[in-house]
A and B are shown apart, each in its own frame.
Chain A
Amino acid sequence: DGGITQSPKYLFRKEGQNVTLSCEQNLNHDAMYWYRQDPGQGLRLIYYSQIVNDFQKGDIAEGYSVSREKKESFPLTVTSAQKNPTAFYLCASTWGGGTEAFFGQGTRLTVV
């Protein structure tokens, strides 16, 4: 079945560590997105990519990095520069402007 897979579902990070969240899609979508969601809040865009080897910063990109080496994959690295990384992270993909986004199950990141 086509869809988006995020892993892991839960992730614990020690302060000062970098961690990478995985996002893979087999929908052949061109555009992919990373969102952050804090408790009781809406979605905030971290990074997005319209095509392979290209990506753009969203509203809250500081402390995060991404890569888009393959159409299917858009991993997000939460660096030690991100001072408050505890949150729920959602990956999404779309065909492009005006089309619905499909979401992964999310990764819940906690700093310990």
Chain B
Amino acid sequence: AQKVTQAQTEISVVEKEDVTLDCVYETRDTTYYLFWYKQPPSGELVFLIRRNSFDEQNEISGRYSWNFQKSTSSFNFTITASQVVDSAVYFCALSDLGAMDSNYQLIWGAGTKLIIKP
């Protein structure tokens, strides 16, 4: 069965510190996609990144970076030099390509609440 685990319920750091949010996934499929979303206090989920299972290259976008490791089934997210505006709930999600028992569903982690203190 598919599953996404975000073991960190809440993380609190002081501004300018680096912080890593963990995501561990389980799937039987060889072809799948992983996602990260940000949910600010306003509530709307904002898409951050999509990574397919065949591309293990790390990705960097400004202060954000993602580390995908199939060997450990992890897709971790790091914010460098955190800012107060990064405070939000971050969700990791998994999707396969529509196998018989998936029906295009996104499997969500429980989310990690990130608090950046000034």
Contact = CB atoms under 8 A, between A and B. Distances in A.
Interface of A: 31, 33, 40-43, 45, 48, 50, 56, 58, 88, 90, 92, 94, 96-106, 108
Contacts of A97: 95-98, 102, 104
Contacts of A58: 105
A42 B89 CA distance: 9
Interface residues of B, number: 28
Contact of B96 (A56, A98, A105): A98
A100 B98 CA distance: 13
A43 B102 contact: no
Nearest to B35: A100
Contacts of A90: 43-45
A105 to B, nearest CB: 5
A60 to B, nearest CB: 13
A48 B104 contact: yes
A25 B31 CA distance: 28
Given A90-B45, A97-B102, A42 B95 contact: no
Contacts of B44: 90, 103-106
A8 to B, nearest CB: 14
17 contacts: A33-B106, A42-B108, A42-B109, A45-B105, A48-B104, A90-B45, A94-B104, A94-B106, A98-B31, A98-B33, A98-B97, A100-B35, A100-B47, A102-B47, A103-B46, A105-B44, A106-B44
A58 B45 CA distance: 19
